[in-house]
């Protein structure tokens, strides 16, 4: 069986390949669509702050390299994406990175908190259910995870806001800012993070439970039990290290 470091490296390479494919598809779709990326700036648009002349458009085409061969454009695009240089937004009149960064910071905070909550619940509960499969705790936990997994996240978020923010007033509706102090940041991030963790719990629990059940049925686990090893030793040495890679 492949070691965990090599498996982790393989996963990282898979994700990098996927990102390159997504970036390449985005580049090709935009470049091979009819017209030029700057054509709309020369028309009679009313939803943009600036209408460019033909001369200004030609200078921008040269500045962004849009008049170069497609291969040179692609290499320049991949290089800029790798360094998080997404160009300048003519709509917001500022670099695209500066537009995205505040939203990205809030998103990362919510995802980290939500994943921490869902993993801290799903991981031990899935082990507990896998070791008692077919019994009442396993049936209840698995049924609950399937129900949570089937609820659309946007509907769950609306219900959570209505009951816990509007009616019970436990969590705030507005005011989430990355520049707030730690206490305020965690307080305002808690409601969306809880919704995110509930939405992720069902999926994470289900796949983790199934992975542990598959490993518990392996011959080497039965052999370890026949040797008289403690259940905790079997769980830590044999089950966890082989069940984690498929989950990751």
What is the arithmetic mean of pLDDT over 114-123? 88
* Residue 240 confidence class, pLDDT cut points 50, 70, 90: confident
Answer yes or no: is pLDDT of 167 > 50: yes
Q: Which pLDDT belongs to residue 217?
A: 78
Helix (H) or strand (E) holding 89: strand 88-89
pTM over 0.75: no
- Cα 38 to its chain centre, rounded Å, is 32
Average model confidence (pLDDT) across the chain: 80
Q: What does the pLDDT read at residue 45?
A: 47
Instruction: Give the mean model confidence (pLDDT) for residues 122-134.
Output: 87
The whole-number pLDDT of residue 18 equals 92
Using H for helix, E for strand and C for coil, what is the string for 154-204?
A: HHHHHHHHHHHHHHCCCCCCCCCCCCCCHHHHHHHHHHHHHHHHHHHHHHH
DSSP code, position 48 = S
Q: Residue 112: pLDDT above 80?
A: yes
pLDDT digits (tens, 9 = 90+) for 5-42: 777 788 889 888 998 999 899 888 888 877 666 665 55
Across the range 124-147, mean pLDDT stands at 88
């Amino acid at each position: 069986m492949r070691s965990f470091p090599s498996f982790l490296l393989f996963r990282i390479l898979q994700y990098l390949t996927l990102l390159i494919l997504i970036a390449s598809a985005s580049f090709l779709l935009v470049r091979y669509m009819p017209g030029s990326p700057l054509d709309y700036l020369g028309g009679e648009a009313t939803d943009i702050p600036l209408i460019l002349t033909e001369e200004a458009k030609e200078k921008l085409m040269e500045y962004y390299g849009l008049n170069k061969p497609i291969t040179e454009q692609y290499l320049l695009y991949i290089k800029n994406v790798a360094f998080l240089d997404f160009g300048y937004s003519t709509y917001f009149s500022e670099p695209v990175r500066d537009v995205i960064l505040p939203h990205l910071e809030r998103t990362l905070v919510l995802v980290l908190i939500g994943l921490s909550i869902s993993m801290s619940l799903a991981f031990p509960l899935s082990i507990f259910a896998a070791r008692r499969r077919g019994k009442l705790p396993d049936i209840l936990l698995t049924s609950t995870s399937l129900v949570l997994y089937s609820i659309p996240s946007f509907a769950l978020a609306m219900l959570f806001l209505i009951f816990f923010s509007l009616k019970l007033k436990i969590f705030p509706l507005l005011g989430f800012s990355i520049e707030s102090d730690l206490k305020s940041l965690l307080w305002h991030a808690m409601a969306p993070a809880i919704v995110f963790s509930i939405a992720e719990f069902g999926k994470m629990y289900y796949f983790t439970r199934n992975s542990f059940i598959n490993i518990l049925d392996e011959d080497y686990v039965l052999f370890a039990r026949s040797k008289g090893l403690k259940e905790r030793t079997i769980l830590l040495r044999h089950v966890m290290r082989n069940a984690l890679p498929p989950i990751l």
